[in-house]
Amino acid sequence: MDKSCASAAEAVACIPDGATVMIGGFGGSGGPIELIHALIDKGAKNLTVINNNAGNGDVGLAAMIREDMVGKLICSFPKSKDPRAFTERYLDGKIELELVPQGTLAERIRAGGAGIPAFYTPTSYGTDLAKGKPVGDFDGRSYVQERWLKADFALVKGELGDPMGNMTYRLAARNFNPLMCMAARHTIAQVTKLVPAGGIDPEQVITPGIFVNSIVEIANPQQEEVLNREGAVYP
């Protein structure tokens, strides 16, 4: 079994216009910058993107938004040091926003991956973000019913990977990545080092390969935070 891909460009070539795409990372940590940039190179329109944020500066997700590739964003926190790309389009009504509490976003993605179509959470009960959602009472407390989130594609970033798709993550760059691997029909991973099958201790695998469809080694991945501090612009 060999899920490895020669390049980021090859890995993202299958993503069509109109696709729903989960993108891992939290702020500048754990975002698959090279995969995102390869998708910008390829071009795709009217994407629905699921990410915790809405990009920062002029690289990564912010650059996708600036290139008008994103029709809808599902996220918890569309603010950053430099959120211009999103903010301008949002205030102009050019991009749709579904705002989801962060824990609910994570749980909805996990539910999508785990075959759980709906669940109840205390989060957002009685707030504007629960409007129109069913409520359930359990043991004397009220909860909001939330639905699973799935995607056509996930773009994620890992640390070690093997050709079967097994992965580990570096430090807090884990965040949403393992969940998104589970919830997408086709998960594309970039890893800093691709090792042979057997090169990751089975006890230390965080994402089992069953959740990954293609994997590409990007040996010295860029870091959104570092790029932004350098004032980088992509493309």
Q: Which residues of 100-124 are buried (b: 16+ CB within 10 A; e: fewer)?
A: bbeebbbbbbbbbbeeeeebbbebb
Region from 65-73, 94-102, 112-120, 188-196 binding a copy of itself, contact rule CB under 8 A:
112-120
138 makes contact, choosing from a copy of itself, another protein, none, with CB < 5 to 8 Å by partner type, with a copy of itself
Binders of a copy of itself in range 204-233 (CB under 8 A): 204
Q: Which is nearer to another protein, 105 or 216 (CB)?
A: 105
For 70, the enclosing helix (H) or strand (E) is strand 70-75
Q: Which is nearer to a copy of itself, 136 or 198 (CB)?
A: 136
168 makes contact, choosing from another protein, a copy of itself, none, with CB < 5 to 8 Å by partner type, with a copy of itself
Q: How far is CA 136 from CA 85, 105, 114, 145, in A?
A: 38, 19, 21, 7
Q: Is 203 in the site for a copy of itself (CB under 8 A)?
A: yes
Query: For residue 87, what are its two tokens?
Result: 């903010």
Q: Is 72 in the site for a copy of itself (CB under 8 A)?
A: no
The partner residues of 214 in beta bridges, in order of sequence, read 188
By C-alpha distance, which of 171, 203, 135, 187 is closest to 12? 187
Query: For residue 176, what are its two tokens?
Result: 């949403």
Most distant CA atoms of the chain, gap in Å = 55
**What backbone phi and psi angles, to 5 degrees, belong to 173?**
-75, 0
Q: What distance in Å separates the CA atoms of residue 110 and residue 104, rounded to the nearest whole number?
A: 10
Q: Is 197 in the site for a copy of itself (CB under 8 A)?
A: no
118 makes contact, choosing from another protein, a copy of itself, none, with CB < 5 to 8 Å by partner type, with a copy of itself
Region from 94-102, 115-123, 187-195, 224-232 binding a copy of itself, contact rule CB under 8 A:
115-123
179 makes contact, choosing from a copy of itself, another protein, none, with CB < 5 to 8 Å by partner type, with another protein
Give me the least distance between CB of 143 and a copy of itself, in Å please: 6
Give me the least distance between CB of 93 and another protein, in Å please: 13
Among 45, 94, 141, 185, binds a copy of itself (CB under 8 A): 141
139 makes contact, choosing from another protein, a copy of itself, none, with CB < 5 to 8 Å by partner type, with a copy of itself
Query: For residue 219, what are its two tokens?
Result: 């040996």
Among 6, 93, 115, 220, binds a copy of itself (CB under 8 A): 115
Torsion 172-21-95-13 (CA) sign: positive
91 makes contact, choosing from a copy of itself, another protein, none, with CB < 5 to 8 Å by partner type, with another protein
